[in-house]
């Protein structure tokens, strides 16, 4: 995944700030979906793409000392300070992750979108589940993105950057609309008790989602410009738009899926 992940070469502190902002904005939704599985003490959990570690900490508190959370990421630089006895941090790619264990719950947020061969990762997650275990996945759908309200020139730049995001993913062999397709994919893979949430907030400039996208755009500006769909001026306008409380946009939709492995 390291060769595909668009944030691999980002600077340490800006990337940590971006990940922590994602946690602040999206952890409540993740908690709700994880709680719906009835996660309980003694469970064995796998967190894929653990990022800055907030969900790992949360699950560790729920499963208690007799449970365990295994947190894996291709880049564990932000997990080094986790010193919990019921947490194991492993630097690994889920597509090649080998472990002599199976799990009651596997969770991933914003992981599969970065993988051209996401099917390999998804199948591996399912393989690692115990019979009756729960898979909870949250992935974005960037096809939902569009400027709603703001100055016309700024809205045009926002839509140019949106096209650049779509093109960047396409050029890398990834699906920018993966999230919206995952429920059907999980159904085809035989998962049961499928539950789906579609969170597509209409976000004001300066709000949490807008801040996340501004941070991402600042870090990925050169990759967006390289697509030919957006200019330096578009990037600047996009970031200003995302900070302006008088603007409104849908930046993307998050599709949350929980499903049970029967056998």
Token readout for 101 is 């264990």
Strand pairing partners for 91? 73
Q: Residue 4 — very low, low, confident or very high, per pLDDT cuts 50/70/90?
A: low
Tell me the CA end-to-end span of the chain in Å, nearest whole number. Answer: 28
Q: What is the mean pLDDT of residues 34-62?
A: 97
For 110-149, write each residue's pLDDT tens digit. Answer: 999 999 999 999 999 999 999 999 999 999 999 999 999 9
Q: What is the pTM of this model?
A: 0.92
pLDDT at 3 (0 to 100): 47
Separation of alpha carbons 104 and 86, rounded Å: 15
């Amino acid at each position: 995944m390291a060769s595909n992940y668009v944030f691999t070469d980002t600077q340490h502190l800006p990337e940590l700030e971006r990940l922590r902002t994602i946690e602040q904005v999206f952890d409540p939704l993740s908690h709700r979906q994880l709680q719906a599985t009835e996660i309980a003490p003694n469970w064995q959990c796998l967190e894929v793409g653990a990022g800055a570690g907030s969900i790992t900490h949360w699950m560790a508190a729920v499963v208690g000392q007799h449970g365990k959370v295994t947190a894996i990421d291709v880049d564990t630089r932000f997990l080094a300070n986790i010193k919990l006895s019921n947490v194991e941090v492993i630097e690994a790619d889920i597509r090649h992750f080998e472990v002599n264990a199976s799990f009651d719950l596997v969770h991933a947020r914003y992981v599969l979108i970065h993988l051209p061969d996401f099917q390999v990762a998804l199948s591996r997650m399912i393989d690692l589940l115990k019979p009756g275990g729960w898979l909870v996945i949250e992935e974005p759908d960037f096809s939902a993105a569009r400027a709603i309200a703001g100055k016309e020139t700024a809205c045009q730049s926002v839509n140019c950057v949106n096209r650049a995001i779509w093109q960047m993913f396409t050029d890398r062999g990834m699906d920018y609309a993966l999230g919206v397709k995952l429920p059907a994919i999980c159904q085809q893979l035989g998962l049961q008790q499928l539950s789906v949430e579609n969170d597509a907030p209409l976000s004001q400039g300066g709000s949490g989602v807008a801040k996340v996208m501004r941070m991402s755009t600042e870090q990925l500006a050169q990759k967006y410009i390289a697509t030919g769909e957006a200019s330096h001026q578009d990037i600047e306008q996009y970031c200003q738009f995302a900070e302006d409380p008088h603007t409104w946009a849908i930046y993307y939709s998050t599709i949350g899926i929980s499903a049970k492995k029967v056998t």
